[in-house]
Amino acid sequence: MRPLVAELKKDFDVWFDEYELKLGDSLRGKIDAGLRACDYGIVVLSPSFFAKKWTVEELNGLFALEDANAKLILPIWHNVDVTVVRNFSPMLAGRRAALSSKGIQQIVEEIRISVGASGRTHEILVPNRGLQAFRNLVGKISSWQLDEKILRSTKGVRLFERSIKRIGELIWGQLQADQEKRHLFRFEDRGIYFVIYGPFHIFLVVSAQNGFANTVREAEILVRIYRDKSMDGVRGEEEELERTVWTITCMSEDSIGFRKKGDSVVISEEDLASFILERFCLQIADRLNQINNH
């Protein structure tokens, strides 16, 4: 943490317990005071984090300070994957997170973008609102410039196409993990979209829309789950069970993230694949429940 804190101190005033606690201080009282003073809390999710009770209590304190319009928690994943985080907190697993493997400079840049994109006018940990308003603006402009540069280029098109392919591979890989049940699913790669057929006539379609040969600035990913009712004797009819639309944004010059339409949280392609797989499995389970209840 120390190198990260040192780097953040170049742009932000940071409350860090190792720096702020003095001999004789009340640990609980100082931490509570620090949490109340914060506009954001950077939480490093690691195996040691999940093993300690007091770190989880600090995280719960940050959750308690959040509201529907203010997301305070900025997660960093260190030596953990989405499965570990989801087992601890599905809600936390769905949040955009920085990865320690990318290095401190990339983490700091992602924090700057997250703080700027939040739209809040408070400074990260101190009440210098004018300065932070300026930093927020700089962060938004930087994020917009990156999107304009990458997404309006053939490189952006390639990144977008690669992400769709990668999402399909991630989902299919999980469905093929159980050798005894892999025969229940069938994968079809149709170029700019893919289809996965599951049991009980449920199938998944993930496709791109609003993309062009040299720009994906307005591109979206459309996720749809259907039930083929023709298999139940209803000729030529497909029932759409659910759909979600995801817009895209640059997480760096070499990777894009996804934002559920109408939401502000940006997630990685790994997280989007996990979300899609979860919804697909839940729809299959719901159909099985309906069959069992008849």
Confidence of residue 71 (pLDDT cuts 50, 70, 90): low
Mean pLDDT of the chain: 80
Spatial strand order in the sheet of 98-99: 41-45, 73-77, 98-99
Angle (nearest 5°) at CA 283 between 172 and 236:
90
Look up residue 209 and give its two tokens: 């829309």
> Where is pLDDT greater, at 9 or 103?
103
* Cα–Cα distance for residue pair 269/164, rounded to 1 Å: 8
Q: What is the reported pLDDT for 127?
A: 44
* Cα–Cα distance for residue pair 89/84, rounded to 1 Å: 9
Q: What is the reported pLDDT for 287?
A: 92
Q: 241-259: per-residue pLDDT in tens?
A: 999 999 999 988 888 999 9
Q: What is the reported pLDDT for 84?
A: 85
Model confidence at 177: pLDDT above 50:
yes
Q: 13-60: per-residue pLDDT in tens?
A: 776 654 333 434 344 455 555 556 677 778 888 888 877 766 666 677
Q: What is the reported pLDDT for 122?
A: 41
Spatial strand order in the sheet of 193-197: 186-189, 193-197, 202-209, 220-228, 238-252, 255-260, 266-267
Q: What is the reported pLDDT for 11?
A: 75
Q: Which helix (H) or strand (E) holds 98?
A: strand 98-99
Q: What is the reported pLDDT for 224?
A: 97
Q: What is the reported pLDDT for 21?
A: 39
Q: Which helix (H) or strand (E) holds 15?
A: none
Model confidence at 156: pLDDT above 60:
yes
Residue length of the chain: 294
Each as own residue / partner, the long-range contacts of residues 42-45 (CB below 8 Å, 24 or more positions apart, any chain) are 42/4, 42/8, 42/74, 42/76, 42/111, 43/73, 43/74, 43/75, 43/76, 44/1, 44/75, 44/76, 44/78, 44/100, 45/75, 45/76, 45/77, 45/78, 45/80, 45/85, 45/88, 45/92, 45/97
Q: 94-134: per-residue pLDDT in tens?
A: 777 888 888 888 888 888 777 764 444 344 444 456 766 78
